[in-house]
Amino acid sequence: MKVLFIAAEASPLARVGGLAEVVSSLARALTTMGHEVRLILPHYGCIKVLSPRSKVKELAALNPRPRTSDIGPLKVSFMGRSEPATLKMTTLKEEIPVYLVENDQYFGGPEVYTDNDLERFLFFSLAIPGILSRLDWRPDIIHCHDWHTSLVPLWLKEIGCVFPTVFTIHNLAYQGAFNQQFLAVSGLSKVWQKHIPNDAPTPSLNFMSQGILLANIVTTVSPTYAAEILTPEYGEGLEHLLRYRQKELYGIVNGIDYEEYNPATDHYLVTNYNSFTVEKRVANKIALQKKANLPQDVDVPLIGMVSRLDEQKGFDLLLPAMESLMGKTKIQFVILGKGREYYQELLREAEQKYPDRVAVFVTFDDSLAHLIYGGSDMFLLPSRFEPCGLGQLIAMRYGAIPVVRHTGGLADTVQDTDANIEKGNGFVFQDYHPASLIEAVKRAEGFFYHKDAWQKLMKRNMLLDFSWEASAKMYQDIYRKAIKRQK
């Protein structure tokens, strides 16, 4: 199949969160299976910084075939005016082509996301039909990722294009919401309900609602999250639309890139290891403790976190729980991430109060993230909700035992060890309450001191398969369903 991905991020070109890794890793997995995959992204300023390495070129220079070489600057009718869009091209690994939509007014800055994202991604989505009409390559399926691209099915219907579409919800909390004024000024009011089926609910005032209602198939990133978002508790105000599409809604757990995340070859680690040499892992723990200015003691349990700092990720639970754990355990914490200033300040205060127990790095540092995966004894994800989560998958690949809340993809990938000693792969708590988090961490700590059992658990987790192969096969089946629905 010829598969076109449309997204706001793809690693390593433009990477803010997990979306970038999922898009690029799934594209590579599908390519390995024999599918022809291409991507369309905005041409951000940060990609231009990378251009010597990623070889961004004018599209015509790369492909002299007549239709492609004539693509030239596009004119996008947009908010009552005409805006130019130039198409350039680069590649990901495995020579996967990436088309880059260039407009310096909207994408020339260094940031992937700004305060003007509604207008920017409206422009981006409006450019897609024009690009498709001029390329000499016709996809069998178009796969749109998250709210930034969720208007693409609308614009395709508006011009009568019959491409089958799949829309993936990576995080329902981010919807591209707007008000009545934007609806009028943007021109969306003319088409907002034009293509919605008569029996469908009225689309909410956000971009995502159009993707949910108009794509042939809707997916999200874990089976449990697919069920959760049908309820008011997790539906973020869109549960009525999702229930309408329930028969076409599927949950597929993300995988991880086993080349990038491989403790046997990871150049960010002090010592490489695998499931047969897991005892070597301790050198990375010592290196992490040293990097974090914590006492270097292999017998003290070390909990790692690599996370956005906000309520979704459970930091309103963590902070009171951490205070209690400081008095009841010897546990050390190393936390890496950026997010709400409120939590950044509270974590810095905890670091100052417990300098021998808590280390906080308010940044994103890929090398430190890898060292946390390779050096922590436990990896904590106390999320309020978690569509899929990649951290627990990477942690298990590296032998760090996950401690998680039972929600979304965490529920699909982590079984409690105390509940199932033979198949358990972590420690799970149910209630969103500090006491439940404390209880799970203390159970993990107790298990940690049984060294033989702990090492057996580490080895078992490292042998689990969370690669993209199985997930990519499921997406392949979804694409076939979407194509069949379109016919």
pLDDT in tens, 352-374: 999 999 999 999 899 999 999 99
**212 SS3 class:** helix
Question: What is the Cα 206 distance to its own chain's centre?
Answer: 20
Measured CA to CA, the distance from residue 43 to residue 58 in angstroms comes to: 12
Which distant-in-sequence residues (6+ apart) come within 8 Å of 67 by Cβ? 134, 135, 136
Q: Give how far Cα 353 sits from Cα of 202, 261, 357, Å.
A: 52, 34, 9
* Cα gap 98→144, rounded to integer Å: 14
Compute, in degrees rounded to 10, the torsion defined by CA atoms 429, 430, 431, 432. 70
Concatenate the DSSP letters of all residues of 242-277 into one string. Answer: HHHTGGGEEE------TTTS-TTT-TTSSS---TTS
Amino acid at 130: G
pLDDT score at 56: 63
pLDDT tens digit sequence for 307-353? 999 999 999 999 999 999 999 889 999 999 999 999 999 999 999 99
Pairwise CA distance, residues 108 & 111, whole Å: 9
Stretch 182-192: mean pLDDT, rounded?
A: 93
Residues 6+ apart with CB under 8 A from 434: 317, 320, 321, 324
Q: All domains of the chain, ordered by start, with CATH?
A: 2-255+469-486 (3.40.50.2000), 278-462 (3.40.50.2000)
Inter-residue contact 71 to 87 (CB < 8 Å): yes
Chain centre distance of CA 138: 27
Query: Which segments of 161-269 does DSSP mark as H helices, in order?
Result: 180-185, 207-214, 223-228, 239-244
SS3 81: strand
Q: What is the pTM of this model?
A: 0.91
Neighbour count for residue 69 (Cβ, 10 Å): 15
Buried b (16+ CB within 10 A) or exposed e, 121-149: bbbbbbbbbbbbeebeeebbbbbbbbbbb
pLDDT tens column, 389-402:
999 999 999 999 99
- In angstroms, the CA 375 to CA 279 distance is 12
Q: What type of residue sits at position 286?
A: I
For residue 220, the 8-state DSSP code is E
Token reading at 398: 């590296």
Residues whose CB falls within 8 Å of the CB of residue 236, separated by 6 or more in sequence, listed in order = 172, 173, 175, 229
Dihedral class, residue 80 (left if φ above 0, else alpha if ψ from -120 to 50, else beta):
left
Please state which of the ranges 11-25, 43-57, 82-96, 191-205 shows the lowest mean pLDDT.
Answer: 43-57
At residue 70 the predicted structure's pLDDT band, cuts being 50, 70 and 90, is: very low
Q: Give the integer Cα–Cα distance in Å for 271 and 276.
A: 14
First to last CA, the chain: 16
Percent of the chain with pLDDT over 90: 84
Residue with tokens 């994408």: 107
Give Cα 245 distance to the centre of its chain.
23
Which tokens sit at 44? 């951000």
What pLDDT digit, counting tens, does each position of 109-162 carry? 999 999 999 999 999 999 999 999 889 899 999 999 999 999 999 999 999 888
Closest by Cα among 163, 168, 101, 166 to 138? 163
Given pLDDT bands bounded at 50, 70 and 90, which one contains residue 420?
confident
Cis link prior to 12 (omega < 30° from 0)?
A: yes
User: How many residues comprise the chain?
Assistant: 487
- Render the burial of 207-245: b for 16+ CB within 10 Å, e for the rest: bbbbbbbbbbbbbbbbbbbbbbbbeeebbbebbebbebb
d(CA 373, CA 440): 19
Contact (Cβ atoms closer than 8 angstroms) between residue 426 and residue 402 = yes
- Helix residue spans in 292-329 (DSSP H): 315-328
Q: What letter represents residue 250's amino acid?
A: Y
CA-to-CA distance for 15 and 47, rounded, in angstroms?
10
User: What's the confidence (pLDDT) of residue 79?
Assistant: 84
From residue 314, alpha-carbon distances to 207, 383, 444 in Å are: 27, 4, 18
Asked whether the predicted pLDDT for residue 60 surpasses 80, the reply is no
